[in-house]
Amino acid sequence: MGIQQEVQDLLLRLGVNAGTLAGGALPVQSPITGEIIANLQPTTAAAEAIAEAHEAFLAWRTVPAPKRGELIRQFGEDLRAERETLGRLVTLEAGKILSEGVGEVQEMIDICTFAAGLSRQLTGLTLPSERPRHRMMETWHPLGVTGVISAFNFPVAVWSWNAALALVCGNSVVWKPSEKTPLTALATQAMFERTAAKVGGVPAKLSTVLVGDAAIGQALVDSPLVPIVSATGSTAMGRAVSPRLAQRFARAILELGGNNAAIVCPSADIEIALRGVAFAAMGTAGQRCTTLRRLIVHDTIYDEFVWRLQRVFGSVRVGDPRDTGTLVGPLIDGRAFATMQRALAEARAEGATIHGGERIERSAWPEAFYVRPALVEMKEQSELVRRETFAPILYVLRYKTLDEAIVLHNAVPQGLSSSIFTNDMREAERFLSTEGSDCGIANVNIGTSGAEIGGAFGGEKETGGGRESGSDAWKQYMRRATNTINYGSDLPLAQGVVFEIG
């Protein structure tokens, strides 16, 4: 069966109307074969969709939070029933290997479980008042329409981290998926609508998808009806979005570029380090925000470790992500390939030693871009290394002292994820301490990618500072009210202020 046919069959099964898939001006290409698999009609009425979402919010905010949680619980169940189907669609549209496609849907299921429990735990504090017969407390209220802008590399999971929380918190959601991966978004939306109809009592347009390019995203960013936007993508995108949101005092949750590094220490368990580095650097063909891009290896183990890594990079199966045994699928498109080749040419000009990085031609699919992951031994952490190139390139650097390694580690503009491989407790604790990694995620003896949904996800510096998913990330989707209640028969003022009106 051709890929286009398979995509259509999966979409129909998940409830997407076949009529929406052809005849439009927005072509969708599968990175696996380079074929066009749909031509969608871009959304024209973004403002109307946002206004409808606002109406939905006004109704939804009055539904008790545990009832809102029940919608998300059932959505999680429905996702569970279609885990393999939606996971395969992620593979066909985004090009990640099947186990990662299915893993992405598992992340959606996990966040639904988390959010369903959270719906009974949107707790506020009670605080001691300094005034007699007064009580002070915090209450949390929904914000309104939550805008979500997501990237091609996690076409559905990142939406779900935001949407599951935003919805149990009492908001409505408007989603602008990447124009490279709108089909999985339409499938997710169709599934959500089915769950909502089954559950009942859910306002129409509680969740909406806007299909289109950056102009559609801008409508979301500029709408006064959207008090919060969560945006995932490049630092360049964040630089465009962030001031516009700030201009109108809207909240921004930004998850932008990463330039994640791992330090491999002399005491490291080398087998664990090899596996951890391999998955983090080559998984999702190097196209995760959390992908390992820099490896800082101690001088005394450098030669052996890099030689072994070189063998892994050279032998890993690159190819059709639908085949079992493939570990590295295609790049998303020709532009990603060109960017990767430019970075490698720059490295070569800087005197780097490059292993791999070449295109693996598939004569039947000239528009698909498969590459062997590149291991690039650098002389220094140059401007090139300090930049995020969204491709499977791992730059390798040497270090002699941990102080030097930590300085190198933090000397990049981004601050998403980081790791240290060591069995030395002092080194591990240093790395996790205030004087260590400056990233939002810091790990010991695991790679930089593959975070669980239970933790707060996001990073510092040019990564944007946002936190999504677990822990107390839910608070961003709500507004906090501080309430003081006087149940006495007097009106004492705080700070002892006297104001007698006679």
Return residues touching ligand UN1 (CB under 6 A): 153-154, 158, 232, 288-290, 449-451
Instruction: For residues 381 and 388, give the distance between their C-alpha atoms in angstroms, rounded to a whole number.
Output: 13
Specify whether the backbone of 319 is left (phi greater than 0), alpha (psi in -120 to 50) or beta: left
Q: How far is the CB of 459 from ligand UN1 (least distance, A)?
A: 11
Q: DSSP label at 142?
A: E
Closer residue to ligand UN1 in complex, CB, 172/235 = 235
Determine the residue type at 1: M
Instruction: Report the distance separating Cα 163 and Cα 440, nearest Å.
Output: 21
Residue 21 DSSP class: G
CB of 242 to ligand UN1, least distance (A): 17
- Helix orientation angle between 182-199 and 3-13, rounded to the nearest 10 degrees: 20
Nearer Cβ to ligand UN1, position 46 or 416? 416
For residue 390 the two structure tokens come to: 């969204």
Query: Distance from CA of residue 267 to its chain's centroid?
Result: 32
Q: Which residue lies nearer to ligand UN1 by CB, 174 or 231?
A: 231
DSSP character at residue 495:
G
Helices (H) and strands (E) in the chain, counts: 15, 21
CB of 237 vs ligand UN1, minimal distance in Å: 12
List CB contacts of 502: < 8 A, sequence separation 6 or more.
none
- Closest to 229 measured CA to CA, from 239, 214, 241, 212: 241
Enter the tokens of residue 370: 């498969």
Q: Are 89 and 37 in contact (CB under 8 A)?
A: no
CB 262 within 8 Å of CB 279? no
Provide the residue type at 55 as one letter.
E
Name the β-bridge partners of 442: 418
CB-based contact 306:399 (threshold 8 Å): no
Residue 291 C-beta: closest distance to ligand UN1, Å: 7
136 burial via Cβ count (<10 Å: 0-12, 13-18, 19+): middle
Q: Which is nearer to ligand UN1, 73 or 288 (CB)?
A: 288
DSSP string over 214-268: HHHHHHHHH-TT--EEEEES-HHHHHHHHHHHHHTT-EEEEE----EEEEE-TTS
Assess whether 255 carries a catalytic annotation. yes
Nearest to 115 by CA among 61, 173, 68, 64: 68
Task: Please identify, using beta-carbon distances, which residue of 377 and 468 lies nearer to ligand UN1.
Answer: 468
Q: Least CB distance from residue 290 to ligand UN1, whole Å?
A: 4
Nearer to ligand UN1, 199 or 456 (CB): 456
For ligand UN1, give the closer residue by CB, 144 or 286. 286
**Owner of token pair 């930004």:** 254
Active-site residue, selected from the candidate residues 289, 377, 427, 439: 289
3-state secondary structure string across 430-478: HHHCCCCCCCCEEEECCCCCCCCCCCEECCEECCCCCCEECCCHHHHHE
Catalytic residue among 52, 255, 427, 468: 255
Specify the residue, 239 or 248, whose C-beta has the smaller distance to ligand UN1: 239
Least distance (Å) between residue 484 CB and ligand UN1: 41
Q: What b/e sequence results for 332-346 when a residue is b if at least 16 CB atoms lie within 10 Å of its CB, and e otherwise?
A: bbeebbeebbebbeb
Please name which of 336, 452, 471, 476 lies closest in space to residue 392, comparing C-alpha atoms: 336
Which amino acid is it at 29? Q
Q: Which is nearer to ligand UN1, 53 or 336 (CB)?
A: 336
172 class by beta-carbon count within 10 Å (0-12 exposed, 13-18 middle, 19+ buried) = buried
* Nearer to ligand UN1 (CB atom), residue 146 or residue 153: 153
Q: Closest separation between CB of residue 466 and ligand UN1, Å?
A: 11
Q: Which residues are catalytic?
A: 255, 289
